[in-house]
A and B are shown apart, each in its own frame.
Chain A
């Protein structure tokens, strides 16, 4: 899956950033440059994919 960042800008100027195709905490890293450039963070939600990726990464580290 290609790495994509989607930004929705509301008519009032509030922005919502969603990341796709990143693994684990990589998504937070990927969108950080936009967060700091755009203004004040007012909320964050980690999705189930985030935790699944994190578990997979931990399993890989244990296996290796």
Chain B
């Protein structure tokens, strides 16, 4: 082991976001302007289960706009799941693009481990 990097995931790729929604059996992201409670946001909208308003991903900025009223209008866990699924799909896409092999393994604590074999045939 020679170095460890920690990264805060930012949603910046529509293809990976689409794969994440597919993985979670959600409707595909739709581009447009969504009304949140007291504001509007433009970007790729994802409707999470039991959320009153959609989550809106601004791909260029890598930011998310949403209003779940501190959990009353939507469980944070659903959004966390989306971001986790996005990170898995995005990392896998990028690794395969580089010609590496990817092995995915869910862990007991809810984490997902991706093992990338550098230079492996995918």
Interface residues of A (CB under 8 A from B): 2-24, 27-28, 30-31, 33-35, 37-47, 49-50, 53
Q: A13-B86, A31-B3 are in contact. List 14 more A-B contacts (CB 8 A).
A: A4-B115, A9-B88, A9-B91, A9-B114, A13-B82, A16-B6, A18-B4, A19-B3, A24-B2, A34-B95, A35-B7, A44-B5, A44-B6, A47-B4
**Beta-carbon contacts of B76-116 to A below 8 Å, as 1s and 0s?**
00001111101110110011001010000001011111111
> A9 to B118, Cβ gap below 8 A?
no
> B80 to A11, Cβ gap below 8 A?
yes
Residue ID in chain A nearest B98 by CB atoms = A33
With contact pairs A14-B9, A18-B1, A35-B5 given, residues A9 and B116 touching in the complex (Cβ less than 8 Å): no
Chain A CB within 10 Å — which of B6, B86, B98, B117 has the most? B6
What residues on A are CB-neighbors of B88 within 8 Å? Answer: 9
> B8 to A39, Cβ gap below 8 A?
yes
**Beta-carbon contacts of B21-39 to A below 8 Å, as 1s and 0s?**
0000000000000000000
Q: How far, in Å, is B83 (CB) from chain A's closest CB?
A: 3
The answer, among A20, A28, A38, A47, for a CB contact under 8 Å with B7, is A38
Interface residues of B (CB under 8 A from A): 1-10, 12-13, 62, 80-84, 86-88, 90-91, 94-95, 98, 100, 107, 109-119
Number of A-B residue pairs at CB separation under 8 A: 143
Shortest 9 CB-CB contacts between residues of A and residues of B? A13-B83, A39-B10, A11-B110, A3-B118, A27-B2, A5-B116, A43-B6, A7-B114, A50-B2
Q: How far, in Å, is B11 (CB) from chain A's closest CB?
A: 8
With contact pairs A12-B84, A13-B87, A37-B90 given, residues A2 and B3 touching in the complex (Cβ less than 8 Å): no
